[in-house]
Structures are given as C-alpha cells and as structure tokens.
Amino acid sequence: MANPLYDRLFGRHAGKTTPFLVLPDGQVRCHDAFLCWAARLSHALVNAGLTPGDRLAVQIEKSEHALAVYAACVQSGIVFLPLNTAYTAAEVAYFVENSGAKIMLCDSRNEPLLTPVADAAGAQLKTLNTDGGGTLATEAAQQPATFETVDRDVDDLAAFLYTSGTTGRSKGAMLTQGNLLSNAETLADYWCFTDRDVLLNALPIFHTHGLFVATNITLIAGGSMIFLPKFDLDQVLQHLPHASTMMGVPTFYTRLLGDGRFDRDLVDHMRLFVSGSAPLLSETHDQFVARTGHRILERYGMTETNMNTSNPYEGARRAGTVGMPLPGVELKITNAISGETLPDGETGQIEVRGPNVFKGYWQMPEKTREELRENGFFITGDLGLIDAEGYVQIVGRNKDLIISGGYNIYPKEIEILLDDQPAVLESAVIGVPHSDFGETVVGFLVAQEGCQPDLEAISATVGLDLARFKHPRKLIVLPELPRNTMGKVQKNRLREEYGNLFS
C-alpha cells in the first residue's frame, strides 16, 4: 500500500535540490529542505498523540512553515483543517469543537485568546509562527529529518474545509485524497503546467484556491512558487517579471489595473493568468486584454468540489462565462423542484459529478443527503445555464433568487445591466421583504473613481430594458460592496442591513 497524495505531490521530490518556494526576501527553499522540515513536523504531531484520521485545526499566517504543516499532515495521515486567519476566537471555537480536533495550532500572539477555546474543546494548543518559532517548531527541531510515510488510500480523508456559512452554521466538507489528487492532476494537464513554471501565489492557503489549486498543481508539475504572504501591490509588481503564471481573485486584477506600472512590457513574458473564487466582471476582463494582451482564464469551483469547469487554455476564453466542464467532470442544469435536466439555454440549478466531488458533510448526514444525490451528483446551490457553445454561465446562488409577486428574478441579469451604466464600477442586487410582493428588488452600486452615478437615468434605462417586475425599487450607492476574504460579495450582509427598507 502507499500514500497516493503524498507520493504524487511531495514524495517524488525527496532528495531534490530543485527550487520550490521563492520567499518574499528572495530566499529560495528547495524541495528537499522543505520536505525535511515537513518530516520533522510529522514526528512532532505524532509524538503529540495524533494518529491517522485525527483532525488538526490550523489557524496560522501564511508562510513556508504553514505549508509544511499541510505536507506533514498528508505524510502522517492526519486530516488537515485550515481556518481563516480572520476568524475570531468565538468562531474558531465552533470549528474546533465540531471537528473534534485533538490539536489546535495557532500563532504565539493568539495563544492567550485561543487557550480557553482549546481547553473547552479538550484539545491541545500548540504554536507555530511565520519565522519558524513556536512550541511545535521547538519540538520538531529535535526530530529526525525523515519520516516513514503512513499508508493511505484514495478514499481516506485528507482535509476538512468548512463552508463560509452565509446561511446557518458552517458545514465541514470532507475531502479525500482522491478528491484532491484527481483535481490537481486534471488542472495541471488542462492548464499545461510544467516544471519550468513559476507561479506567483499571493492567495491565502486556508482556502481551496491558494492551497489545493495553486500549491497542488505546482507540486504535481514540479515547478516553483513565488510564495507571498498576501496580495501586496508593490510586492506583486516586483515579482511578476520572475513569474510565468499567476492565480488570483478578481480584486487582484482590478488593483493591478489601477496602477500605471502594470503594463504590457511587465507581463509580456507571462504564460497564464487565472481568476476564480468570485465572478470576474466582463469590464475587468476587457481592460486586462487592452492593457496586457492577455486574456484571463476564469474557472469555477467550490469548497466541496475543488474545480468543476474552466475556460480553455487553447481556444476562446469568454468573458462572463466559466468555461466548460473539466475532463472527468459531469455538469448538468436541473429543475430545482423536479430534478429533471433542463435543455441548454435554460436557467436552473447546477449539479456536478466526478472524482473531485467531496465525501459529504462532517456529522451532518441529513444535509449530505439533501445536497449529494445517491447517483453522485452534488447540488451546488449555484444557478446557471449552458449556452449554445457549451460554455457555462453562473447566474447566481439559489439562495439569492428573488421571488417577487410569484415571478422568479435572477439578480445576475439585473447586475449585468447595472454594471454597464455610466459611472458604475460594479453592482449587487438582492431581494428584501415587501408586504405586497413578498420580496422586491434593491440594487447597490459602487461608483467609478471620481464619478457619481445618475440614479434617475439608470432607473430609466432599466425601465426600458427589463420587465417591470424586475425593476429595482430602490438604488443605493455604497463606497464598496461587503466581501469575504476571497472577494465574494456577501449579499447576506446586505440583506441583514437593508432588509427593513419596506417594512
């Protein structure tokens, strides 16, 4: 028996002095040095009492040491549970207790806050800092630089990722070795990654995008990463000349476009820009092409499935779409009530099936049955359609669907129109309670820099282009839209704040 995920991602690089991580200060960490440190961490975790299948909850800042903890978990069969570094102690308490994590790993500066959390959950608390200090690092430093890799199967759990929890409590998505490995292999091949690629990674690694997409693909291909702790405009501009590929959220690209130093000459050598985790505005896509000559490749994934679709590497990358199903992934559009497959061009709920789809929700069998069909199709909760050319378009989230006076209203249709209006940078549309119609439409606008949208003119345009029941009853200008750490608009916060407009 073997450990498929470790063998394919990490083990194949044992003993190699090839570059793996380029750190912000210019230091280069080779594969072998990284793996030796991960092996020491494996010993420390096992000595602390963790066994295969146990959960390790991790809330530490992005660094080479944080990434080595992931490798150590895979090698020792421990289930890796990364947590958003922005979570408060109260939020962390839920994840530690719900997952049954035996050890909580945090930065030393957060130890006083998280000690009561760990104690209440019956978990040990250990520390690991970005500079390599902390109690776990001290214990690991005394350990051998090799570790006998624990046997695992493709169906064994490798990680828990908790959903963002915009409605109700977050759910722990159980991801197997096979889920992570199949997706990494597919993407590395589909996006033509090789050992010559240098990926600029400024994404967080507590999320699918920065960890299971960016990092796993780089490891599979044998390339290297410029490993930045976060998106810092000056740092990204400094390192872009040394990268061949970049993955980011739409905010990364809008910030780059807002700086005059970002031009065609700076990125002429680049092979690929990928965007995900939130919708990329068509305007951003077009501006990027005009400025650089590169067409951003947009794709679509989820916590529970990793990546499902992608615009083609070779072929037309169409703005406003997320491309086509990846090899090995089946995608269909279905009627939310009957479950019947809808013809192309009709809007419905998106369902996917493939080796990338998770095993289920931790300790939530009923929720798992609701969203994961017996035939293997996962009901994503996203609404979309497949156009005449086979490209998938995301219309919105099922929970964002507005039902006004018995009519279904898809916010994306209105947002596309609002985004095109003069002086409007972006928009978000929600439904709020209304005594007559059940719900009514409210639109939120963010102005382009130095501009002021003409709300009366915009309302008049909407009146010409959309059926009356779709018209926003109110337009509100905000300085910015509320977003989570991955750049997704948090419409639940808008509903909470503005839900009483008409009551």
Neighbours of 230 (CB within 10 A): 14
Cα gap 395→408, rounded to integer Å: 12
Residue 330's H or E segment, with its range, is strand 330-334
The CATH topology of domain 4-17+30-152 is Rossmann fold (3.40.50)
CATH number of 401-498, picked from 3.10.129.10, 3.40.50.300, 3.30.300.30, 3.10.300.10 = 3.30.300.30
Residue extents of the structural domains in the chain: 4-17+30-152, 191-295, 401-498
Cα gap 74→55, rounded to integer Å: 11
Dihedral angle, C-alpha 209, 211, 217, 218, nearest 10 °: 120
Residue 167 has a pLDDT of: 45
Residue 340 has a pLDDT of: 94
CA nearest 462: which of 483, 480, 448, 445?
A: 445
CA nearest 362: which of 94, 77, 50?
A: 94
Sequence length of the chain is 503
Residue 282 has a pLDDT of: 84
Angle between helices 250-257 and 282-292 (to 10 degrees): 50
Question: Quick check: do 4-17+30-152 and 401-498 share a fold?
Answer: no
CATH number of 191-295, picked from 3.40.1440.60, 3.30.460.30, 3.30.70.380, 3.40.50.980 = 3.40.50.980
Helix (H, G, I), strand (E, B) or coil at 29: strand
- For the chain, helix (H) and strand (E) counts, in that order, are 17, 25
Cα gap 322→343, rounded to integer Å: 18
Q: What is the pLDDT along the chain (503 residues), one digit of tens a residue?
A: 699 999 999 999 999 999 999 999 999 999 999 999 999 999 999 999 999 999 999 999 999 999 999 999 999 999 999 998 988 898 899 999 999 999 999 999 999 999 999 999 999 999 999 999 999 999 999 999 999 999 999 999 999 999 865 445 789 999 999 999 999 999 999 999 999 999 999 999 998 999 999 999 999 999 999 999 999 999 999 999 999 999 998 889 989 999 999 999 999 999 999 998 877 888 889 999 999 999 999 999 999 999 999 999 999 999 989 999 999 999 999 998 889 999 999 999 999 999 999 999 999 999 999 999 999 999 998 999 999 999 999 987 777 888 787 677 878 889 989 999 999 999 999 998 887 677 899 999 999 999 999 999 999 998 888 878 889 999 999 999 998 877 788 998 999 899 889 87
Residue 108 has a pLDDT of: 97
Burial 440-471 (b: 16+ CB within 10 A, else e): bbbbbbbeeeeeebebeebbebbeeebeeebb
